[in-house]
Amino acid sequence: MIRTLVIGFGQVAANFAVGLERVKSGEAEPYGVPLADQDFGVRIDEVEIVGAVDVDKRKVGRDLASVAEEFYGLRSPSGALRDVYVHRGLGGEWVRDLFPVENEDWSLSLSRVEELIQELKPDVILDVTTTQSAHAYEDIEEFEGAVARGDAAPGQVYAYLALKASRRIGPLAYVNLNPTPVAHSPAILKLAEQTGCIVLGDDGATGATPLTADLLEHLRERNRRVYSIAQFNIGGNTDFLSLTEEKRNRAKEETKSSVVRDILGYDAPHYIKPTGYLEPLGDKKFVAMHIWWESFNGAVDELIVNMRINDSPALAGLIVDLARIGWLLKKKGLRGTVYEVNAFYMKRPAPPGSRNISRFHAYELLTRFIKSL
């Protein structure tokens, strides 16, 4: 059994929890789980959610099944997720523009969450909180100071507390799925090395960016000269709402843009960023993309891609893999971060300074690495 703790019980986590239970009960196939057929020595139905953490007042203290149904219309198989709870998290002030939160003394928050982790004893912690605009921490001491003062971003604080708790409850894997620099904070990677833990991240690679990466690879392999790339995204979930705040948007844009130079080998002019919030679209965002290029003998070709993509289930599917992979890496005694895993699942693969490669190459790298374990 793999004990997983979810940080941020929003639409991604709800899809992860309910989808997982539906797979276990035979109601659904594990579509959207890239390595569903891969033998990890542990089955998908051995992944267990032992708790969730959130700062939304309306969710704290309730069971996962009822929150998933009430907030997202996702119905769990009968009986499932009724005795797993949303526990109170920390850093509510980072998201008070998005939903109702409660104030709390910071040091109290820290100790409360640390105790919670010790109690739940997770093998894998999955951070699916919303985008936070923050910088990376180089130095451990500076980082610890920032955590103590409440300056570090919530994602970074959770990672810190998880690594700290691991000294008591044993090594664990912390997987950061949002753009906050967690696996890109050298201080956190050093702490992971010291504690024998795994930190994976940052920013789960779903939606349009992985497809863009592969389309660019396709063009590069034909030596077509890309003139420009435009990519628009609009959706109606909390993630898009949160990105209407300029600072968060910029954090997101960076992880999306590096893909162009990394894959093409030159910086084709591009406009790639989350574009807007439109409530009725809900979780199924609309993506529009325009790419044009020069082919042989001066010919100019043009490609337009439009998509309707359910953002949250897509990420939830990846998380099912990451729970099993985190468990496997931990079991094999690895520590720090693992590029071979991040390269496929993350928009901004750690360790810092790593290149974005096409998802095709990343997939090969990943599957070869998993086999080698």
> What is the footprint of a copy of itself within residues 111-150 (CB under 8 A)?
none
Using rule CB under 8 A, residue 83 touches a copy of itself:
no
SS3 17: helix
User: From start to end of the chain, where are the E strands?
Assistant: 2-7, 47-54, 86-88, 124-127, 173-176, 198-200, 225-235, 270-277, 284-294, 300-310
**Residue 288 C-beta: closest distance to a copy of itself, Å:** 3
Residue 354 DSSP one-character state = P
Question: How does DSSP assign 129-193, residue by residue?
Answer: PPP--------HHHHHHHHHHT-S-HHHHHHHHHHHHHHHH---EEEE-SSSSSTT-HHHHHHHH
Using rule CB under 8 A, residue 349 touches a copy of itself:
no
| Closer residue to a copy of itself in complex, CB, 27/119 | 27
Using rule CB under 8 A, residue 322 touches a copy of itself:
no
Using rule CB under 8 A, residue 96 touches a copy of itself:
no
Using rule CB under 8 A, residue 328 touches a copy of itself:
no
d(CA 177, CA 253): 15
Using rule CB under 8 A, residue 301 touches a copy of itself:
yes
- Say if CB 251 and CB 217 are below 8 A apart: no
What is the distance of C-alpha 47 from the center of its chain? 17
- Say if CB 226 and CB 293 are below 8 A apart: yes
274: its two tokens? 């989350």
- Write out the binding residues for a copy of itself, residues 14-73 only, by CB under 8 A: 15, 18-19, 22, 28-37
Q: Which stretch binds a copy of itself (CB under 8 A): 107-115, 158-166, 176-184, 292-300?
A: 292-300
| Closer residue to a copy of itself in complex, CB, 103/297 | 297
**Residue 201 C-beta: closest distance to a copy of itself, Å:** 19
Using rule CB under 8 A, residue 98 touches a copy of itself:
no
Using rule CB under 8 A, residue 316 touches a copy of itself:
yes
299: its two tokens? 């010919």
Beta pairing partners, 277: 235
Using rule CB under 8 A, residue 228 touches a copy of itself:
yes
Q: Which of 141, 296, 353, 371 binds a copy of itself (CB under 8 A)?
A: 296
Using rule CB under 8 A, residue 294 touches a copy of itself:
yes
Using rule CB under 8 A, residue 212 touches a copy of itself:
no
Using rule CB under 8 A, residue 313 touches a copy of itself:
yes
